[in-house]
Structure 1
Amino acid sequence: MEAALANEYRRICRDPATHQPLAYLRLRRAIRNIVEHRDIEPGQALPSERDLAQALKLSRVTVRKAIAGLVEEGLLTQRHGAGTFIAERIVKPMSRLTSFTEDLRERGLSPRSEFFERGIGEVTPEESMALNLSPGSLVVRLHRVRYGQDEPLAIERSVVPASVLPDP
């Protein structure tokens, strides 16, 4: 895998169409490309930062910065003491919409939610535009953590016109 990554990195460096002066962004693009083209399978470990830095003739800081950006995007995951891995892909047909709860149950996980903030307030200008509400209208703000098998999976922030909820 190190060789595939090195080849893709060199290809990006030579290609004027993908010119990027910052090495960490070139490396980020190279990793993203090989993941998206399925040259690396989900769950597979990336070479260590030190090995990548040596193979690509980059500093460890550059490699670390590229990896951190991909972790933030959700393309990679890191486990302390174990390394960096390709994140599992969630494949979902778009022919029908399902709720978070339905999605988790279909995967055999036990869903639950925990509200950490609920309140009624006046609509902000941004919310007013997005929800097509008049200034001064009331909205309900719901912030919750969504869990699957008691593992936090998502933070959900919802803003709903107060008029559509019978008991906010």
Structure 2
Amino acid sequence: MSARSSLSRPSADGPVRDGIPEHGRIPRYYAVKVGLLEVIAELGEGSALPAERELCERFEVSRATVRQAVGELVLEGRLSRRQGSGTFVAPPKIVQPLALVSYTEGLRRQGIEPGRNVITLERRAAGPALAADLRIEPADEIIHIERVLLADAERVGLESTYLRAARFPTLLDVFDPEQSLYACLRERLGVVFDGAEERVETVLATPREALLIGTNPALPMLLMHRISWGPDGEPFERVRSLFRGDRLSFMTRLGRVE
């Protein structure tokens, strides 16, 4: 059976069947994409993808079809492009828990070394939007900490944290911005996190964000908004975290609803 005929015949289940539209015709690029997933599994992490010409011959399709299939796998984080070197099998995505744990804790549990590059460390007026979220006045001061997030020295995200300055008057004196903020709040300032509300959506990075994270502005990003509060129910922190969708995924555990 030729590569062309094998791509035209869907399996009873699995990714090919999942991608078949109702009219039953498999898009050519999608069949190539499924075939490439098998190639990726055989090659293993860090291996170079065969040359475009070789893939065209293997699947008996045009360069445009191969490029579309490869492009989708790059967007999904299965493949990564290195300028001047080629396309390679990407490492597995980092799994970050959706829980009241810090970025540092989440990565170290997976054997990944976290890191941060400080971009902004300042005190300024809250402004209307932040004031509404933190239940303070627009003229009240907040502490703004903006950092590029690293995983084994690879840039994977950009985090902006806003805290009530009046509640943490000594924070900037005791906080090392290259270390875990949550560890500092708990261990140095005795802060108790009682709860948080978190929202996740997909966005495209702004030109500034893409430059700081080192990603293509066309790649989808995962944007997380979090407001945290203590035992008194008063919000004291708002966090805006932007993560590379090709490198991170999120996990949470759900319980049964009675």
The TM-score with structure 2 as length reference comes to 0.43
Give the distance between the partners of 1:30 and 1:13, measured in 2 at CA. Answer: 11
Q: Which amino acid aligns with 1:26?
A: A
1:31 corresponds in structure 2 to 36
Structure 1 or 2, whichever has the larger Rg, is 2
Deviation at 1:24, TM superposition (A): 1.2
Deviation of 1:121 after TM superposition, in Å, equals 4.9
Larger displacement relative to structure 2 (77-86 or 146-155): 146-155
Q: If each structure's helix is expressed as a fraction of its own residues, which one has the higher value?
A: 1
CA distance in 1, matches of 2:108, 2:79: 25
Please identify which structure carries the higher strand content: 2
Once the two structures are superposed, the pairs formed by residues 82-97 of structure 1 within 5 Å of their partners are 82-90=85-93
> Is the 2:108–2:114 contact (alpha carbons within 8 Å) kept by the matching residues of 1?
yes
Task: Give 1:159's aligned amino acid.
Answer: H
8 Å contact from structure 2 (residues 81, 88) kept in 1: yes
5 Å matches for 1:71-150?
71-90=74-93, 99-105=102-108, 107=111, 109=113, 111-114=115-118, 121-122=128-129, 137-138=132-133, 145-148=148-151
Unaligned residue ranges in structure 2 (runs of 5+)? 135-141, 160-222, 229-233, 240-258
CA distance in 1, matches of 2:145, 2:69: 34
Three-state SS of the structure 2 residue aligned to 1:39 is helix
| Letter of the structure 1 residue corresponding to residue 115 of structure 2 | P
1:24-43 CA distance string (max 9 Å, x none): 111112223454xx333111
1:164 aligns with 2:168: no
Aligned-partner residue type, residue 101 of structure 1: T
In structure 1, runs of 5+ residues without a counterpart are: 1-5, 124-136
Q: CA shift at 1:49, angstroms?
A: 0.9
**2:43 aligns to what SS in structure 1?**
coil
CA distance in 2, matches of 1:97, 1:12: 45
> What is the number of residues matched between the two proteins?
146
Letter in 2 for 1:21: I
Alignment of 1:30-69 (within 5 A): 30-35=35-40, 38-69=41-72
**How far apart are residue 55 of structure 1 and its match?**
2.1
- Could you say if the C-alpha distance between residues 26 and 166 of structure 1 is closer, same or farther in structure 2, counting changes exceeding 3 Å? closer
User: Is the 1:142–1:159 contact (alpha carbons within 8 Å) kept by the matching residues of 2?
Assistant: no
Percent identity reads 26
Asked if structure 2 preserves the Cα contact closer than 8 Å seen for 1:104 and 1:111, the reply is: no
Output the amino acid matched with 1:153: V
2:133 and 2:238 in contact (8 A); partners too: no
Q: For 1:143 and 1:12, how far apart are their aligned partners in 2?
A: 48
Q: Aligned partners of 1:166 and 1:98: how far apart in 2?
A: 14
Residues 32 and 10 of structure 1, relative CA distance in 2, 3 Å threshold: farther
Is the alpha carbon distance of 1:21 and 1:79 closer, same or farther for their aligned partners in structure 2, counting shifts above 3 Å?
A: same
